[in-house]
Structure 1
Amino acid sequence: MGALLGVAVLGAGHMGADHVRRLDRQVSGARVVAVADPDTDRAKEAAAGIEGVLVHPDPVAALDTPGVEAVLVASPGEAHEEALLAAFARGLPVLCEKPLAPDAAGALRVVEAEAGLGRRLAQVGFMRRYDAEYARLKSLLDQGRLGRPLMLHCTHRNVSSPRDFTTDMLITSSVSHEIDAARWLLGQELTAVSVLCPRSSPGAPEGLDDPQFVVFETSGGALVDVEVFVNSGFGYQVRCEAVCAHGTARIGDGRTMVVTGEGGAVEEVPRDYLVRFADAYDREVRAWVDATRRGQVTGASAWDGYAAAAVAEAGVRARRGGVRQTVELAARPELYTTPGH
């Protein structure tokens, strides 16, 4: 497929720096041409040791770096819309970490801009679609061997939440992964949401409603429940069980190292998402690079990013108001034809 794909990475924080490393060391067929971050020292640290990389404080300027052929957006969510629209204006394919935009209105603007081009350029970084366990569950459900899916039971636990994490973000940031995974696994839209909040955990920062219990209804008559607990204190756990008409299937119980010593045994629990989903991120970026070099765009679309934002906003309304909320989606442009794909 010719020369290496030149990539500009926007954002050099925890996620962005990991993607710079991944593109340089784990993924063949690509090279990092530019790294952009307002904190140029952080950008320089992420790019250290990579020959020929230019560092920019301004993400839009980074897109005009000679040799840039594609963009990986890993900046904070509020910067995504500007970066995506700038990439579209230059005809550059984009892998954008979720969220597509901080709110549904911004995500819809991105969808409309891309639809106006008449071709897909954006892929949204919902990496669970590339996780081996999720892929096996998706294949099993698509085969229909267990009959019609009736329910998905999901668990999403973190060790602790960042200092700036808000109650709304339990849904808009954390549960957004389950929103996309449910749409993808079931091939159905999420049509309504209810949220219940128990008494907050003593480990939660003051004012943070944590944990939460979220229930989604789907267009195919299934139910999806999510326990989200971002200050569990012990580890990072993501699980999903599909309950179907003729059987069940559960993922997320994969065994890690067990250390046995005097008086007992201890099983390791991953501490964050970059450990649990390291292989999924590798697969996702590798697939994006390969597809981009072929002139294709695969994976979660901008429409999927918009749908996730719209469902999450309905979830926030449900929590704040204490009542079930329906999900209202804009008309789907012809560019995006299949729900959840």
Structure 2
Amino acid sequence: MALRIGVIGAGAIGQDHARRINQVLTGAHIVAVSDVNAGNAAALQSEVAPDATLFATGEELIAAPEIDAVLVTSWGTTHEQYVLAAIAAGKPCFCEKPLATTAEGARRIVEAESAAGKRLVQVGFMRRYDEGYKMLKAVVDKEIGTPLMVHAAHRNASVAEAYVTPMAIHDTLIHEIDVFRWLLDDDYVSAQVVFPRKTSHAHGKLRDPQIVLLETAKGVRIDVEVFVNCRYGYDIQCQVVGEEGLANLPEPMSIVTRKKAKLQNAILTDWKHRFIDSYDVELQDFIDAAAKGTASGPSSWDGYVAAVTSDACVKAQETGEIVPIELPARPALYA
């Protein structure tokens, strides 16, 4: 029997994930939807899941006996309450980033899951499922020797007026924060942020670009350029320097053309296109694990560490200081 999934949060990402589950992936079906905006829930039901039941609240959806697993794609400030409710109900839960909007909230989820005694939560850090990053990790693990340094960049063509300086960490760098821990099998011990000359394309409430400097427990030094008004496209770069060689994240596949005396290839402009396949793979991983009553992939602990690291990076933005990153002992559940 197909896994019966309820979706909490029927905005753009909720609709897209629901479409994947019902139309692309195998082993699951959307049977329930809830959103504080009843119109959003009705739209998802109409366009993607016509046989789904609409619930007034996320808590009611989670408690319903016909729901086997939960997809949390609501506003970030609501994630904690729904994930905790799913854990209490013993139901596997996929939660989009962030796991919680505060480190304390993420810690409460870790504690609840640890008390439950089994993995029930997968966090939506999709880059771990990207083919390029998986290829890079295989090379880092086996071919270039001990990693020494990482040079990386996260560039967007432009951002809206509502995007302010701390969002460069919480909304943008958050992806690198998680994927580098996975790539290096390491944790962070300090963060620093420095600001180069400001681009004229950034509005008054945004310092752009910025460079985030991270140090890991094993001594790896990481520098990440965050430049969200680069103008030319959406561009993710990562180079790992090891003792025996270096490895670069592969570029997305594109055709090279010769035209009008130019040799060129297209650059993506939309993050959804850059990582579209990884969303399919991560949700299939969730479905396969949830069918067994558990969770796989990025864990609540990974979500908690990302929150702690993000807070340290924002403090570094504000103070200009090197900010220590301190973590409690990793619970046995996440060993």
Bin for the TM-score computed over the shorter chain: over 0.9
- Residue 260 of structure 2: which of 259, 262, 266 is its match? 262
Residues 60-114 of structure 1: CA distance to partner in whole angstroms, max 9, x if unpaired?
Answer: 2222345211111111211110010111111110111111111111111111111
Summarize the Cα distance change of 1:273–1:65 in structure 2 as closer, same or farther, 3 Å threshold. farther
In structure 2, the partner of 1:224 is 222
Give the stretch that moved more between structures: 59-68 or 216-225. Answer: 59-68
Summarize the Cα distance change of 1:201–1:36 in structure 2 as closer, same or farther, 3 Å threshold. farther
Give the stretch that moved more between structures: 244-253 or 213-222. Answer: 244-253
RMSD over equivalenced CA pairs, Å? 1.6
Give me the whole-angstrom Cα distance separating, in 1, the residues matched to 2:292 and 2:63. Answer: 22
Residue 169 of structure 1 and its aligned partner are, at CA, apart by: 1.3
Residue 172 of structure 1 and its aligned partner are, at CA, apart by: 1.6
- Residue 276 of structure 1: which of 260, 265, 274 is its match? 274
Alignment of 1:41-120 (within 5 A): 41-49=39-47, 50-120=49-119
Give me the whole-angstrom Cα distance separating, in 2, the residues matched to 1:57 and 1:261. Answer: 56
Maintained 8 Å contact 1:147/1:245: yes
Residue 259 of structure 1 and its aligned partner are, at CA, apart by: 5.1
Q: Tell me the SS of whatever aligns to 1:135.
A: helix
Summarize the Cα distance change of 1:297–1:315 in structure 2 as closer, same or farther, 3 Å threshold. same
Give me the whole-angstrom Cα distance separating, in 1, the residues matched to 2:156 and 2:55. Answer: 33
Q: Tell me the SS of whatever aligns to 1:51.
A: coil
TM-score calculated relative to the size of structure 1: 0.93
Segments of structure 1 that go 5 or more residues without pairing to the other structure are: none
Segments of structure 2 that go 5 or more residues without pairing to the other structure are: none
Give the stretch that moved more between structures: 194-203 or 310-319. Answer: 194-203
Q: What letter matches 1:197 in structure 2?
A: F
- Residue 149 of structure 2: which of 148, 151, 159 is its match? 151
Q: Tell me the SS of whatever aligns to 1:225.
A: strand
Alignment of 1:1-341 (within 5 A): 3-49=1-47, 50-143=49-142, 145-258=143-256, 260-264=258-262, 266-337=264-335
Residue 328 of structure 1 and its aligned partner are, at CA, apart by: 1.3
Residues 100-152 of structure 1: CA distance to partner in whole angstroms, max 9, x if unpaired?
Answer: 11111111111111111111110111101100111111122222x21100011
Give me the whole-angstrom Cα distance separating, in 2, the residues matched to 1:64 and 1:126. Answer: 26
Give me the whole-angstrom Cα distance separating, in 2, the residues matched to 1:260 and 1:47. Answer: 46
Give me the whole-angstrom Cα distance separating, in 2, the residues matched to 1:139 and 1:263. Answer: 38
Q: What letter matches 1:129 in structure 2?
A: R
Residues 2-39 of structure 1: CA distance to partner in whole angstroms, max 9, x if unpaired?
Answer: x0011111212221111011111111101001122222
Give me the whole-angstrom Cα distance separating, in 2, the residues matched to 1:47 and 1:234. Answer: 37
Q: Tell me the SS of whatever aligns to 1:295.
A: coil
Give me the whole-angstrom Cα distance separating, in 1, the residues matched to 2:162 and 2:58. Answer: 23
Q: What letter matches 2:268 in structure 1?
A: P
Maintained 8 Å contact 1:200/1:208: no
Q: What letter matches 2:301 in structure 1?
A: W
Give me the whole-angstrom Cα distance separating, in 2, the residues matched to 1:6 and 1:209. Answer: 45
Summarize the Cα distance change of 1:218–1:93 in structure 2 as closer, same or farther, 3 Å threshold. same
Residue 255 of structure 1 and its aligned partner are, at CA, apart by: 3.2
